[in-house]
Homo-oligomer: A and B are copies of this chain.
Amino acid sequence: MHVATLEREAVSCLEMCNQCGARTTSICSVLPHPELRQLADCATVKTYAPGDLLIREGDTFDHVFNITEGMVMLFKLLGDGRRQVLGFLFKGDFLGLTGGVDYQFGVQALTSVQSCRFPRVPFRRLLLETPRLEEELLSRASDELMSAREHLTLLGRKTAVERVSSFLLYIADREAKVGGAPDLAFLPMTRADMGDFLGLTTETVSRVISSLKRQQVIQLLEHGGVRFLRRADLETSAEAA
């Protein structure tokens, strides 16, 4: 009977993972069965409503996350309230690469979000025993670094129009990878969020979007959707990197 209980739990773990929205795209996809079980055993599934904070900057760094559904935003605050949005995470993305004792940034849900959370200590133990997982994290860290460098170039050297155009294309590409249409961008964040990502103000973002709409390069849909009517022009105004 004890065995039966274990078996049932094992089955439920697997089922949990098999029903996971990010089963094939999260870091878990590289784990063989016993290691997946090990990870699933210490996992907690949590859901968040739009606006909820997953992490507050300065909180003790005690958990790592898989985003299994929805979209979140990473940000840093300056002492006087200025904010820099560092990036966005989607279904399948991993959160918790950086070391340190505290989280170096806040994380907020932009949509309804589902996450799968692991305590840092057992996760780290599994990591040390599983080179394939370490390899996967390194690969993702490299991708994030590449993306951060694009972002640096945008913030340091692009004009307002180039920034907004690049942003729309970036979001659409990221969303396309998790099942979106290539010429649609869904924008659950506010203009202020976009501004804080792009180093601009709310008003400037709004003006640029209005102008792109007036030129019929994009079309605004309901619920924050944007359709690209002339993607080539959008790419031109985003400027070749």
Contacts and interface: CB of A to CB of B under 8 A. Distances in A.
Contacts of A14: none
Task: Report how many copies the assembly holds.
Answer: 2
Interface residues of A, number: 44
A98 interface: yes
A149 B105 contact: yes
B155 A152 contact: yes
A210 interface: no
A145 B156 contact: no
A156 B129 CA distance: 39
Contacts of A179: none
Interface in A159-189: none
A83 interface: yes
B149 A86 contact: yes
B84 A143 contact: no
A241 B141 CA distance: 23
Contacts of A66: none
A142 B241 contact: no
Interface of A: 76, 78-80, 82-86, 97-100, 104-105, 128, 131, 134-135, 137-139, 141-146, 148-149, 151-153, 155-158, 196-199, 239-241
Contact of A141 (B104, B131, B142): B142
A100 B85 CA distance: 26
A159 to B, nearest CB: 10
A138 B135 CA distance: 8
A79 B239 CA distance: 7
Contacts of A97: 138, 141-142, 145
A194 B105 CA distance: 26
B135 A84 contact: no
Given A152-B155, A156-B199, A157-B82, A241 B76 contact: yes
A145 B153 contact: no
A39 to B, nearest CB: 17
Given A99-B143, A145-B148, A84 B138 contact: no
A135 B128 contact: yes
